[in-house]
């Protein structure tokens, strides 16, 4: 049960990052399922399609989001930066260690900026 919840949270996060790469219909169905916690039957009724169609769409969406994350790794990079900032905050009593963690976080952000032209 906890694993399923964590998986849904991860997919919801990927939806936030890569949602604009989906079709409007895919994004709508995924949003209702992952963000609004609608059931497959509720989404099917609202969208005027079968429950199986909703299920198939969600499977395609999940596959596409995971594939895109595998290729681009934006969520992974964000988590790396977050870990570095947390480590820096935890070591604030040791200024040299905090500085080292913050510099690494800054390098990660700068690398992302160079790669994606942000």
* Residue 63 lies in domain: 2-72
Q: Which residue is it, tokens 């790794």?
A: 73
| Predicted pLDDT at 65 | 96
pTM here is 0.72
CATH code for the domain in which residue 55 is found: 1.10.10.10
Residues 10 and 64 in one domain: yes
Tokens of 21: 């790469």
Predicted pLDDT at 112: 64
Report the distance separating Cα 8 and Cα 96, nearest Å. Answer: 38
More confident residue, 31 or 98: 31
For residue 36, is pLDDT > 50? Answer: yes
Are residue 67 and residue 87 in the same domain, yes or no? Answer: no
State what percent of residues in the chain have pLDDT above 90.
53
Q: Taking all residues of the chain, what is their mean pLDDT, rounded to a whole number?
A: 88
Give the confidence band of 40 by pLDDT, cuts at 50, 70, 90: very high
Whether residue 78 sits in one domain with residue 68: no
pLDDT digits (tens, 9 = 90+) for 54-112: 999 999 999 999 999 999 998 888 888 888 888 887 777 778 887 788 788 878 877 76
Residues 64 and 78 in one domain: no
Residues 9 and 58 placed together within one structural domain of the fold? yes
Question: Of 75, 99, 78, 77, which Cα lies nearest the Cα of 87?
Answer: 99
pLDDT number for residue 118: 45
In whole angstroms, what separates CA 108 from the centre of its chain? 18
Looking at the 3D structure of the chain, how many domains does it have?
A: 2
Q: Work out the average pLDDT over 28-36.
A: 95
65 three-state secondary structure? helix
């Amino acid at each position: 049960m906890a694993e399923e919840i964590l998986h849904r949270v991860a997919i919801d996060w990927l939806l936030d990052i890569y949602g604009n790469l989906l079709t409007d219909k895919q994004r709508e169905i995924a949003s209702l399922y992952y963000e609004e916690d609608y059931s497959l039957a509720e989404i099917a009724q609202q969208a005027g399609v079968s429950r199986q169609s909703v299920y198939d769409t969600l499977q395609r969406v999940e596959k596409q989001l995971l594939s895109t994350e595998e290729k681009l790794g934006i969520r992974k990079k964000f988590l790396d930066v977050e870990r570095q900032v947390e480590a820096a905050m935890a070591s604030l009593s040791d200024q040299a260690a905090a500085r080292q963690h913050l510099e690494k976080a800054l390098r990660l952000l700068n690398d992302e900026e160079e790669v994606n032209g942000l």
